[in-house]
Amino acid sequence: AGESSVPAEKIRLYREAIALDPQLRDARLDLAQAALSNGQDAFGLAAFESYRTLPNGNDSGELAGELANVRQLAAEAMTRAHEYGQAVELYNELLNSVKDPARRDQIRKTRDSVQAKQSLEQVNASRQPLASRSLAQSRIVKPKLNQLPGEDH
């Protein structure tokens, strides 16, 4: 599966390998990377979660680099799914595992951007109307914000 250059073929082969031996941990990581790289976010996130829930083996340095790449892909997929809290957790794990200062700065900026989106979503949620059977609403509807108050972009 690792030698195939066709993403759909890689995914199929990794799925078959895992079906034959459910204890394969590294194949789950490879499956997650192939699915996330191929735009199959939900499937890739499920494969990554199954990798994380299996008992830890001895992760080699090579696997640690691959794990960091998959973590980043998973965090990006979580952001696209508006699961900002989980994305921030993955970015924090990524910051703890990456040593390169330039990449750490990039990850930190991305994480901060996701945290700002999370804050904006929380503020907008507090501004939404609450539907009730009463004609008189307890909260006035306010327009949705595109940025947090006090931010200039």
Q: pTM of whole model > 0.85?
A: no
The answer to whether residues 49 and 36 touch, using CB atoms and an 8 Å cutoff, is no
pLDDT in tens, 4-18: 677 788 899 999 999
The answer to whether residues 91 and 75 touch, using CB atoms and an 8 Å cutoff, is yes
- The secondary structure of residue 120, as a DSSP letter, is H
* Residue position matching structure tokens 């992760």: 59
Tell me: pLDDT of 94 over 80.
yes
